[in-house]
Structure 1
């Protein structure tokens, strides 16, 4: 991963909105600090479009879309986005050929192999609220796995033909041709009436881990919180810019930069 530039060099004039990861970007060690949540509210009230992009499950995303100061939520690494319109929940899916029974059988085989081959690995505690992927915990509710063990989990997913991404807490695998960027494109086209390629510079993305790599690669104004450096060996294309602060305080740092530049 190349060394990013400081966020003071990001041109945020006339910025329309912010896409952001949640775990260890918006949150700090599993908690959303008041400073970060207030920063989201400040951006929202300033008229910025706010959309979290997460590997977290559908059940969590329903709550976020209803309760948080956001315009939509992308969940399960791009399988869908949820948003509220006129007080009603609307759900849009990027998966066009989902076969639940077939996928469940294939995921069960992958799960069995991972748990047999990687001591200490466990299915993520939020798995019951997922619709499309399998999440393996590598540090959230289990002692942290080694980099070699994480890579072994990645290799098992890939051996079975699944797409796989590593987040700061989980290894997520799924079947289907989509990722977070796929869902962002769909949201921008359907909800904003814009082409994301043409309006790339109107948005900033901020993240922290390997599952954010498609966004780091695409957005010209991609930002990493300082702890993205912890995953430098897993990331080929990293963010263009980086905060001084780690985790949620890095999110606050970016929010302050955006709001000061208005």
Structure 2
């Protein structure tokens, strides 16, 4: 296995890592001691970490309290939690939350007419901006048909390794991250930000016109054929081990 090859000049500039959570920071679906050690080392060297996840607001509100991170974006770009004590910020325009949720529900129920086995995700009740259902049992062809249906109803659709998401058209990880960077980290240039992910819903973070330094952990290989934008670099190791591999490479340049 060859060492991960990233230009040293790119590594030395990095001041903020915007990373996916599930499949990127987890290992077999769980947090590990290695993750906590890695995040603590990054914080010690003044490398800011933002989580950009499809997880619900309730879930993200919990983890921001316990992990050594600067903030977290939930629901694939719907809401930002600046820190463990600050109030969350809704990143998309929603006129009425009740009618918004009802419209999402109606779209999901229509989908069930074509795919009767679809099951609402366990955390969907706690969501605000998107609607989620289980990925299990869906083929790539099914997912493409669901995407076309959602677009016909003026929604966007994406999926990760664990869930499918129906959401507003402009709601994605890239748009939300750009908003957060502009408001909270305006002094950073695009070359001081590294984006990291592992799945299809991370594709917006791999757009080189927006984020020139992007990385996929090794398990992104399952989705490369489906991505319009691929990560600039790919780690040798999957999941949390790949993220730690990347972090150590960044830190090795900071210590020169």
Give the TM-score, by structure 1 length: 0.88
Partner of 1:98: 95
Report matched runs for 1:1-262 at 5 Å.
7-10=4-7, 11-84=10-83, 88-139=85-136, 144-175=137-168, 177-194=170-187, 199-217=189-207, 218-262=210-254
Distance 1:96 1:27 in 2: 31
When the two structures are superposed, what TM-score results if normalisation uses the length of structure 2?
Answer: 0.90
Contact 2:101 2:129 in 1 (8 A): no
Q: Is contact 1:8-1:257 (8 Å) kept? A: no
Aligned-residue offset at 1:206: 0.7
| Number of residue pairs the alignment of both structures matches | 249
Per the TM alignment, residue 98 of structure 1 is displaced from its structure 2 partner at its CA by 3.5
- Provide closer, same or farther for how the CA distance between residues 219 and 164 of structure 1 changes in structure 2, counting only shifts above 3 A: same
SS at structure 2 position matched to 1:114: helix
Do the aligned residues in 1 keep the contact of 2:217 with 2:237 (CA within 8 Å)? Answer: yes
Residue 9 of structure 1 and its aligned partner are, at CA, apart by 1.9
> How far does residue 88 in structure 1 lie from its aligned partner after superposition?
2.5
Deviation string 1:7-51 (CA, Å, 9 cap, x unpaired) is 422421132110100011111231122212321121112211110
Kindly provide the CA deviation profile for residues 179-210 of structure 1, in whole angstroms up to 9, marking residues without a partner as x: 2122222222222233x6xx110011110111
Instruction: Describe the SS at the equivalent of 1:132.
Output: coil
Report which stretch shifted further, 248-257 or 184-193: 184-193
How many Å separate the matches in 2 of 1:7 and 1:99? 47
Is this contact kept in 2: 1:6–1:241, CA < 8 A? Answer: no
Whether the aligned pair in 2 keeps the contact of 1:223 and 1:241 (CA below 8 Å) is: yes
Contact 2:135–2:159 (Cα < 8 Å) also in 1: no
Deviates most, 51-60 or 147-156: 147-156
What's the Cα RMSD here? 1.9
Change (3 A) 1:6 1:236: farther
Distance 1:166 1:232 in 2: 14
Q: 1:6 deviation in Å?
A: 7.2
Q: Quick one: distance in 1 between partners of 2:79 and 2:3? A: 32
Deviation at 1:240, TM superposition (A): 0.6
Q: Structure 2: where are the runs of 5+ without partners?
A: none
- Compared CA separation, residues 232 and 169, structure 1 to 2 (3 A): same
* 3-state DSSP of counterpart to 1:252: helix
The answer to whether the 8 A contact 2:13-2:191 is kept is no
User: Which of structure 1's runs of 4+ aligned residues deviate more than 3 A?
Assistant: none
